[in-house]
Amino acid sequence: MKLTLKIWRQKNAQDKGKLVEYKIDDVSPDMSFLEMLDVLNDQLIEKGEDPVAFDHDCREGICGMCSLYINGEAHGPDRGVTTCQLHMRMFKDGDTIYIEPFRAKAFPIIKDLVVDRSSFDRIQHAGGFISVNTSGNTQDANAIPIPKHDADRAFDAATCIGCGACVATCKNSSAMLFVSAKVSQFALLPQGQVEAADRVMKMVNQMDVEGFGNCTNTGACEVECPKGISLENIARMNREYLKASLK
């Protein structure tokens, strides 16, 4: 395939940035999107030009590092996949593809398509954990009976990889789907009950401190989420927050 790429280039957070056009030929439909960018970068390096900076790590849809806004959609036109799992067969010969970084006040651009998502880490540090006594007197988690329905919902919430697609696709740049998934995976389990009130209050407060917007109730986040995290988690987080506020 022959493609025209319009890629966001920005030297640093202070640079204005702009879309730069590149032509690329001989793109196989079996390539992943990131492999196509690898080919482009090889060509740029051969020409003595600065390669396009973009985030990636596992390339298996697990780590949540890849974060491209492709033709106006987080992770591109496919559903239930991350950018690294997107294949070029989703595009046609002669297509023009717009490639931009995830855009949000809380995700400042570092360079080109790379954004700083450490705000998610700070939300996790605020309360996304369970304090456990590891002195040798701990109880085996498998010894605590948990209803299968609750266990399944907790596992579903825990599949969130923190990629930030929910933020990028929300017109308010809300992180509520991400935060609610992290709150839910503990709120649904007995091990998470001890710190439940502190957890939701601290994580929601940190989310606001980072500058994320509020939920729009449009549901775009669930549609674009590569792991299909449900909006039900936002409702659960709101209930948990209300209960904690009344204590």
Mean pLDDT for 241-246 is: 95
Out of 3-7, 13-17, 37-41, pick the least confident.
13-17
Residues 103 and 123 in one domain: no
Residues 129 and 195 in one domain: yes
Residues 70 and 144 in one domain: no
Residues 230 and 124 in one domain: yes
Apex 94 CA angle, 90 and 96, nearest 5: 75
Question: Residue 17: pLDDT above 90?
Answer: yes
- Residue 84's region, left for phi above 0, alpha for psi from -120 to 50, else beta, is alpha
Beta pairing partners, 19: 8
Residues 158 and 179 in one domain: yes
Parent domain of 13: 3-111
The rounded mean pLDDT for the chain is 95
**Contact criterion met (CB below 8 Å) for 70 and 52:** no
The domain boundary, picked from 55, 90, 111, lies at: 111
Question: Residue 132: pLDDT above 70?
Answer: yes
Q: What confidence tens digit (pLDDT) does each residue in 60-105 have? A: 999 999 989 999 999 999 999 999 999 999 999 999 999 999 999 9
Out of 41-45, 191-195, 228-232, pick the least confident.
191-195
Q: Where are the alpha helices (DSSP H) in 116-163?
A: 118-127, 148-158
Mean pLDDT for 214-242 is: 96
pLDDT of residue 142: 78
At residue 139 the predicted structure's pLDDT band, cuts being 50, 70 and 90, is confident
Strands 18-24 and 73-74 come out as unpaired
The domain boundary, picked from 53, 88, 111, lies at: 111
Residues 84 and 172 in one domain: no
pLDDT of residue 116: 97
pLDDT of residue 144: 84
By C-alpha distance, which of 132, 227, 241, 223 is closest to 183? Answer: 241
Residues 87 and 161 in one domain: no
Question: Residue 217: pLDDT above 80?
Answer: yes
Residues 25 and 53 in one domain: yes
Q: Could you give the percent of the chain with pLDDT greater than 70?
A: 99
pLDDT of residue 129: 92
- Residue 228's region, left for phi above 0, alpha for psi from -120 to 50, else beta, is left
Number of domains in the chain: 2
Residues 18 and 132 in one domain: no
At residue 134 the predicted structure's pLDDT band, cuts being 50, 70 and 90, is low
The domain boundary, picked from 111, 139, 168, lies at: 111
Gap between the Cα atoms of 75 and 105, Å rounded: 19
Q: Could you give the percent of the chain with pLDDT greater than 90?
A: 91
Question: Residue 244: pLDDT above 90?
Answer: yes
Question: Residue 135: pLDDT above 80?
Answer: no
CATH number at residue 133: 1.10.1060.10
CATH number at residue 15: 3.10.20.30
Question: Residue 39: pLDDT above 80?
Answer: yes
Residues 121 and 200 in one domain: yes
pLDDT of residue 196: 95
Residues 186 and 159 in one domain: yes
At residue 111 the predicted structure's pLDDT band, cuts being 50, 70 and 90, is very high
Mean pLDDT for 47-55 is: 97
Residues 174 and 91 in one domain: no
